[in-house]
Structure 1
Amino acid sequence: MKRMAMLFALIVSGIIFSNCEGPEGPPGPTVYPYVTDIKLNFDGDLNANIASQLVKHDVKLYLGDVVLIFVMEDTDNKGNPIWSPLPQRYFVYDNATQQDEELEYIYNYGVNDFEIIARATAPLGIFNGNGSHPGFLKNMIFRIIYVPGADPVQKFNSTNSGNSEIHPLSYDEVVAKYNLQNISVVKKY
């Protein structure tokens, strides 16, 4: 009889606990990795030395997640894009000042959006393109890569000094590290 009572108690407790529900947990994580391309223009005020674009994230970003941004520099002889990580600098010779002027693209991000900033040592109009250079302000294509909160910086041992130095990953290194070879890119242009 004791065995029957224990078996009955076990069955009843199993039924009771299987129907219990607790409070709903946090929302599920963003599906990573997520990769998107956007095309931006920074030629609104060519007399200014700085311009920026604020862009809302396409995905839910959580604290600790990482946003990596690359700019398309050119294409190779097969038409494949060549990506450079931000920050990225461009130099243009200014005839008026008789010196090279610098344009740098940088970025920052938070949980809601990211901002790409073009800042220059001279008015942006110098970087708008002319016969000597194609321009670095219009139709700039940026690739945004969202990855879980892993550190996007690798340390490399310097062969000269034996010290380690911080080096941002190249686009190809990011693709290999986060297994992005077969990820479809969401085009926003």
Structure 2
Amino acid sequence: MKKIFSLAIIGLLTFTVVGCTRTTETVAQVQDNDTYSTAYDLNNVSFAKDSNGNYTIGRNFNNPLVESDVVLIFRKSGTTNNGSPVWQSIPRTLYLTQGELDYDYDFSKVDILIRAGGTFDPGLAPTYINNQTFRVVVVPASTGKNANLDLTDYASVAKFYNIKESNIKSL
């Protein structure tokens, strides 16, 4: 009986040690310690209408993104009384007199594409498609799972990722 009990204890300890070792190895493999956040501005850009009637703005990144990077895009919707920009995250739907205007985007590791569309021709609302300013923020996906971070709030994103206005690049 003592032999069976001793073997059971040894087996349990072995299982625990092997299980913990494998978990640690898995975590170490997926950590991304060399990626940092980057932000770019697209200042006073206008959407171009393509042959399919879609309004888009496209840009290539200066360097390809890392596979684990995620792109967030914010549209400057105005300024505060002291002149600070007001950033709205996109995708975003604006409810205008003419109908709904949607801003959306997609990205790959080499480029971004911002689209304007909706329930009417965006060309009928030139204020919303001409001379627009966007902030493109590239962040590591692994830290984006933080439950305390609101990815739709530029100020929260900038604070969390330590994005300084002086380090914003043009794209």
Instruction: Tell me if TM exceeds 0.5.
Output: yes
Corresponding residue to 1:127 among 122, 125, 128 = 125
Corresponding residue to 2:60 among 46, 52, 56 = 56
Instruction: Please say if 1:141 is aligned against 2:145.
Output: no
**Aligned position for 1:115:** 113
Please tell me whether the aligned partners of residues 48 and 56 of structure 2 are also in contact (alpha carbons under 8 angstroms): no
Per-residue deviation, residues 85-104 of structure 1 (Å, max 9, x unmatched): 1112222213xxxxxx0111
Distance 1:102 1:153 in 2: 31
Q: Structure 1 residues 60 and 74 mapped into 2: Cα distance closer, same or farther (>3 Å)?
A: same
Q: Structure 1 residues 175 and 124 mapped into 2: Cα distance closer, same or farther (>3 Å)?
A: same
TM-score w.r.t. length of structure 2: 0.69
1:151 Cα deviation from its structure 2 partner: 5.0
Q: How many residues are matched?
A: 137
**Aligned position for 1:41:** 46
Of 137-146 and 51-60, deviating more is 51-60
Please tell me whether the aligned partners of residues 70 and 85 of structure 1 are also in contact (alpha carbons under 8 angstroms): yes
1:53 Cα deviation from its structure 2 partner: 1.9
Q: Structure 1 residues 69 and 30 mapped into 2: Cα distance closer, same or farther (>3 Å)?
A: farther
Q: Secondary structure at the match of 1:150?
A: helix
Counterpart of 1:178 in structure 2: which amino acid?
Answer: Y
Structure 2 matches for 1:1-189, cutoff 5 A? 32-39=36-43, 40-42=45-47, 44=49, 48=53, 50-94=54-98, 101-128=99-126, 135-150=127-142, 152=144, 155=147, 168-181=151-164, 184-188=167-171
Per-residue deviation, residues 128-180 of structure 1 (Å, max 9, x unmatched): 1xxxxxx1000110001112233536547xxxxxxxxxx64300110121121
Please tell me whether the aligned partners of residues 88 and 152 of structure 2 are also in contact (alpha carbons under 8 angstroms): no
Unaligned runs of 5+ in 2: 1-32
Please tell me whether the aligned partners of residues 30 and 59 of structure 1 are also in contact (alpha carbons under 8 angstroms): no
Distance 2:57 2:37 in 1: 23
TM-score w.r.t. length of structure 1: 0.63
Please tell me whether the aligned partners of residues 40 and 170 of structure 2 are also in contact (alpha carbons under 8 angstroms): yes
Distance 1:93 1:153 in 2: 37
Q: Secondary structure at the match of 2:82?
A: coil
Please tell me whether the aligned partners of residues 153 and 168 of structure 1 are also in contact (alpha carbons under 8 angstroms): no
Q: Looking at CA atoms only, which structure, 1 or 2, has the larger radius of gyration?
A: 1
Name the structure with the higher helix share. Answer: 2
